[in-house]
Amino acid sequence: MKQVRIITDGACEGNPGRGGWAAILRFGHHAKEIYGFSPHTTNNRMELTAAIEGLRALKEPCEVEVVTDSEYLKNGITTWIHKWKRNGWRKGTIKNQDLWEELDRLANQVHRTRWVWVRGHADHPDNNRADQLATTAAREQIARV
């Protein structure tokens, strides 16, 4: 399996408000930036969307290290999701359930993922770039996939 790193971020102008997401995909010396927007959303939905779109962009199953500055995203996919699944996803009680289910499918059935949390707005150049892309996408309502 190819080893890929995906650095993700989400942003929102108001919460809820205009949102943006971004993912930087790295494979060897290659990098690809993707980003998009939603006219009315929340920051947490954009964080989840960034990870989902990053994983969707891969053309084959891969070993993926997902880097995020969102504790919500990392804790949700590595810890909380196990209880949600054990309890049958109890419809209507889990915020952003549609996105969690899709992320679970991509992260655990299609790819092999490892999740890494980094402090936001710190010394991680790719995280800073993803933040810049997501913020710009939110403000300007632009996309590039």
CATH of the domain at 53: 3.30.420.10
Contact 18, 118 (CB under 8 A): no
Selecting among 36, 47, 54, 126, the annotated active-site residue is 47
Residue 145 forms part of a structural domain: no
Selecting among 20, 69, 76, 126, the annotated active-site residue is 69
Cα–Cα dist 117/3, whole Å: 18
Asked about 121 being catalytic, the answer comes back as yes
Residue 68 forms part of a structural domain: yes
Q: The domain containing residue 128 runs over which residues?
A: 2-140
Residue 71: which of 4, 10, 2, 136 has the closest Cα?
Answer: 10
Residue 127 forms part of a structural domain: yes
Number of domains in the chain: 1
pLDDT, one tens digit for every residue, the chain (145 residues): 999 999 999 999 999 999 999 999 999 999 999 999 999 999 999 999 999 999 999 999 999 999 999 999 999 999 999 999 999 988 778 999 999 999 999 999 999 999 999 998 788 999 999 999 999 999 999 999 9
Residue 56 forms part of a structural domain: yes
Asked about 131 being catalytic, the answer comes back as yes
